[in-house]
Amino acid sequence: MFLIKNLMFFITSALLINTANAGWLDLNMPEGVTDISQEVFDLHMLILWICVVIGVIVFGAMFWSIFMHRKSRGVTPAQFHESTSLEFLWTVVPFVILIGMAIPATKTLIKMYDHSDSEIHIKITGYQWLWQYEYLNTNVSFYSKLSTPYNEIYNKQEKNINYLQEVDNQLIVPVNKKIRFLLTSNDVLHAWWVPDLALKKDAIPGYINEMSVVINEPGIYRGRCAELCGRHHGFMPIVIKAVDEDEYEEWITASEAKISGVAKVNK
Amino acid sequence: MSSVVNDTHHEEHPSGIMRWITTTNHKDIGTLYLWFAMIMFFIGGLMALVIRSELFQPGLQFVDPQFFNSMTTMHALVMIFGVVMPAFTGLANWMIPIMIGGPDMALPRMNNWSFWILPFAFSMLLSTLWMDGGAPAGGWTLYPPLSLQTGDAFPFLIFAIHFMGLSSIMGAINVVATILNMRAPGMTLMKMPLFVWTWLITAFLLIAVMPVLAGGVTMLLTDKFFGTSFFNAAGGGDPVMFQHIFWFFGHPEVYILILPSFGVVSAIIPTFARKPLFGYSSMVYATASIAFLSFIVWAHHMFTVGMPLAGEVFFMFATMLIAVPTGVKVFNWVTTMWKGAMTFETPMLFAIGFIIMFTIGGFSGLMLAITPADFQYHDTYFVVAHFHYVLVPGSIFAIMAACYFWLPKWTGNMYPETLGKIHFWLSTFFVNLTFFPMHFVGLAGMPRRIPDYSLQFADYNMIASIGAFGFGFAQLIFLYLIIKTIKGGKKATDQVWEGAEGLEWTLSSPPPYHSFNTPPAIK
């Protein structure tokens, strides 16, 4: 009895720890903090569940067959083959399901391609291996690169919780405003990806790519370069800090003043 | 008749190494291709283990990031061009002439040449590991401008790819010529086994797209050495154009890697279900539809390059359409099993494993087709999980199923059944342990092709690495088993499998050096 009680306790506590530390969301796509990222997440789950249902039906039929229609059970094999109606059915039904997937996917895609009415414009340039952010219509511009110490990378020092996803200068943006990113590269291909914002696009030399976002919640969101760009491809993270509008205005004014101050001194 | 005289004359062949160098016999060349693929399988596997060792824990432990990138690049090139393609060409060489009742391949001397190019191509490719600047590290997709940063290895890489392409094109021409000209009287196209059909279609894909790859990489070569600016934005070129050219080759290429598997599985399932294939003609049409669609979906590999909305929508819809003919195939296999009288020898186990795990890869493929969601999946471990599911328990399992299925025919000896089953169960367990967790880390935000990762990905990477080592070592069983079967074992009957049907089972086990010099009668 004591043993069973202990066992029960052990199992429940293990489950609790699991749900607390490594919940379902850690294994899944983040729902993110924008309306579109939520739509993308819903789309992902919709397709996943459709696949699961189809999988259960198809594999179910297959395993039923594997267990019931085996020679060791003394069955004689049927000899049927070809059935126009069945073949028609299993061509048309998947087609209809696909249309059901394509409609919401296209709707979301059209929204993602709408960059109109953006209020803030930021140009992002990829370099081997750092990012440059330029706030257009202001003079604010800075580089952002990995700040994790080499000692942590080479295992000489314990790794901190934001290992490989921390930078020296964070990209600061306001919440609830439409931000348009213009994306290009100075050398090889890069890709700017922040999962929580459902934004990923390639930075290509000679091209200017566009994407836009409205962030709903203040917070720090971390991303990475997603296109192989050479030796330090794994070491060019993105950290974006979304703040209230007032705080953003304050920050941008201060940064502008600081930069023009430096410019004056240099003159 | 003079054919009797000719027969005895042709049975003579040089012995020792010269037999293999000078051979024009389709069975010998098939064997060469298969052994070449086996050797490359272990070389490419070793590279995968370097990758998985480095990724066992966060932090850099074993290799430099540049070498890590070389490993991912070379692993892909070796596995695609050195393992899956030669293995299928080997199976084609061995089986197609026999299956259609022909005496040999249509172009036997060219056949010898197309094989013997390969060892040179791969010696050249692998030699780059010791060159200044290291082996190619820009990914097997060779995207410029990064691939142009390759050191001394660059021209060797390009010429190695030219040679591989040359070998594949000649192999493909040979397959087409053989199937269209060497069939026994009465072997109409719609009587051919599905393996022959899938290979006919694959061969046309190869002829269509390998020259495109050759053109693309030649443009890279001239960009690097002869001052052209095809892909150099600063010179008025377009880096994205390379991606379009590459994937116009690359997408049909992935069907080149899978269509012959469909043929293998369509041969094995009816044999062990003791029941005819459910829909032969619909399988042929489904294969042809997949081949056609493969030409109009290439840009789904490039959803994030910033194509116009109309382009994204077109490629999304076209890609989703592939699910229909692929579904037809899976449904056909399941209905073939339905109400059969199945036994589960090793080839059948691998074939069933193929259907289940290939379908899982198909599901993630369908998810990847959904453009808005693909923005999240693109270039992450979710993609790595997807294509390894269709290539390892897909193509590779089908190749292994084919080896177990025809090994008794080739060698005249039965392989040890229990050991084969152990090989299957270990491979299946470890392949899932390796690749299933990759779905999770990919969704959680881990990009592909990185030598080091942040801490939230640590657990699943460790599991995947353990799985990779398990899978790698399990393949030594396969190697041992094949050598053992060649050396001896229980004698195989001509029929080998109770439910086997087709011309190959009418020959002795092993078949004579030259078979069907007089065409067999076709029912």
Reduce the secondary structure of B158-197 to three states and give it as a string: HHHHHHHHHHHHHHHHHHHHHHHHCCCCCCCHHHCCHHHH
pLDDT at A132: 97
Give the mean model confidence (pLDDT) for residues A144-166.
93
Supply the DSSP symbol for A73: G
| B105: Cβ contacts below 8 Å, ≥ 6 apart | B26, B29, B93, B96, B97, B111, B174, B175, B177, B178, B182
Q: Does B7 touch chain A (CB under 8 A)?
A: no
Among the partner residues B327, B337, B367, nearest to A94 by beta-carbon distance: B327
Is the Cα torsion angle B46, B51, B56, B57 positive or negative in sign? positive
Q: Which residues in A lie closer than 8 A to residue B317 (C-beta atoms)?
A: 102
Q: What is the pLDDT at residue A261? A: 76
* pLDDT of residue A1 exceeding 70: no
Is residue A15 scored above 50 in pLDDT? no
Is residue B326 annotated as a catalytic residue, yes or no?
yes
Structure tokens at B262: 């469909």
Q: Does B309 touch chain A (CB under 8 A)?
A: yes
pLDDT for res B2: 40
Helix (H, G, I), strand (E, B) or coil at B366: helix
In a mutagenesis test of the B interface, which of A21, A87, A115, A128 is the best target, namely the one with the most B β-carbons within 10 Å? A87
Measure in Å the smallest separation between the Cα of B51 and chain A Cα atoms. Answer: 14
When pLDDT is cut at 50, 70 and 90, the band that residue A77 belongs to is confident
Q: Do A78 and B340 touch (CB under 8 A)?
A: yes
Type and span of the H or E element at B220: helix B194-225
Asked if B155 is an interface residue toward chain A (Cβ–Cβ < 8 A), one would say no
B189 touches chain A (CB under 8 A): no
Whether B255 is catalytic is yes
Given a cut of 70, whether residue A85 has pLDDT beyond it is: yes
Q: How far apart are CA B111 and CA B102, in angstroms?
A: 15
CA distance A258 to chain B (A): 34
For residue B278, give the nearest of A22, A81, A165 by CB distance.
A81
Chain B residue with CA closest to A62: the answer is: B334
Helix then strand then coil, in percent of chain B rounded to 5, is 75, 0, 25
CA of B344 vs chain A CAs: smallest distance (Å): 9
Mutation for B interface: A17, A89, A157, A231, most B CBs within 10 A: A231
A5: pLDDT strictly greater than 70 = no
Of A47, A66, A152, the CB nearest to B370: A47
CB-CB neighbors (< 8 A) of B367 in chain A: 44, 47-48, 51
In this structure, what are the phi and psi dihedrals at residue B304, rounded to the nearest 5 degrees?
A: -95, 5
User: d(Cα A121, Cα A210) in Å, to the nearest integer?
Assistant: 10
Domain boundaries, chain A: 25-71+97-114, 120-266
What's residue A175's pLDDT?
96
Q: Is the Cβ–Cβ distance between A106 and B313 less than 8 Å?
A: yes
For the question of residue B7 being annotated catalytic, the response is: no
On the CB side of A267, CA atoms within 13 Å amount to 6
Phi/psi at B214 (nearest 5 deg)? -60, -45
pTM of the model: 0.93
B311 touches chain A (CB under 8 A): no
Whether pLDDT at A21 is above 80: no
- The confidence score (pLDDT) of residue B3 equals 43
Residues of A in contact with B242 (CB under 8 A): none
Among all residues of chain B, which has the CA nearest to that of A73?
B341
Asked if the Cβ–Cβ distance from B233 to A54 is below 8 Å, we say: no
Tell which CATH architecture fits domain A120-266: Sandwich (2.60)
pLDDT for residue A51: 95
**Token pair 């471990």: residue:** B381
B370, A95: Cβ pair inside 8 Å?
Answer: no
pLDDT per residue as tens, chain B (523 positions): 344 444 455 567 888 899 999 999 999 999 999 999 999 999 999 999 999 999 999 999 999 999 999 999 999 999 999 999 999 999 999 999 999 999 999 999 999 999 999 999 999 999 999 999 999 999 999 999 999 999 999 999 999 999 999 999 999 999 999 999 999 999 999 999 999 999 999 999 999 999 999 999 999 999 999 999 999 999 999 999 999 999 999 999 999 999 999 999 999 999 999 999 999 999 999 999 999 999 999 999 999 999 999 999 999 999 999 999 999 999 999 999 999 999 999 999 999 999 999 999 999 999 999 999 999 999 999 999 999 999 999 999 999 999 999 999 999 999 999 999 999 999 999 999 999 999 999 999 999 999 999 999 999 999 999 999 999 999 999 999 999 999 998 999 999 999 999 999 999 999 999 999 999 988 7
Catalytic residue among B168, B294, B346, B427: B168
Q: Write out the H or E segment, with its range, that includes residue B362.
A: helix B346-369
Catalytic pick among B54, B104, B312, B504: B104
What pLDDT, on the 0 to 100 scale, is given for residue B523? 76
Whether residue A110 has pLDDT greater than 90: yes
CB distance B327–A90 less than 8 Å?
yes
Of B317, B379, B380, the CB nearest to A102: B317
Contact B136, B146 (CB under 8 A): no
Beta bridge partners of A50: none
From chain B, the residues in CB contact with A78 under 8 A are 275, 338-340
CB atoms within 10 A of CB A16: 10
Q: How far is A261 from chain B (nearest CA, A)?
A: 35
The arithmetic mean of pLDDT across residues A40-46, rounded, is 95
Distance of CA A129 to the CA centre of its chain: 20
Which residue in B has a C-alpha nearest to residue A65's C-alpha?
Answer: B338
Pairwise CB contact (< 8 Å): A58 & B331:
yes
Quick one: pLDDT at residue A4?
Answer: 52
Instruction: Tell me, yes or no, if B75 is annotated catalytic.
Output: yes
Interface A-B: count of C-beta contacts within 8 A: 275
Mind telling me how many Å the CA of A145 is from chain B's nearest CA?
15
Decide if A30 contacts B442 (C-beta within 8 A).
no
Does the annotation count B448 as an active-site position? yes
* Angle in degrees, CA B505, B509, B510, rounded to 5: 125
- What is the average pLDDT across A55-73? 94
Query: Which residues of chain A does B337 touch, with a Cβ-Cβ cutoff of 8 Å?
Result: 62, 65-66, 69
The more confident residue out of A264 and A231 is: A231
Residue A120, pLDDT > 90, answer yes
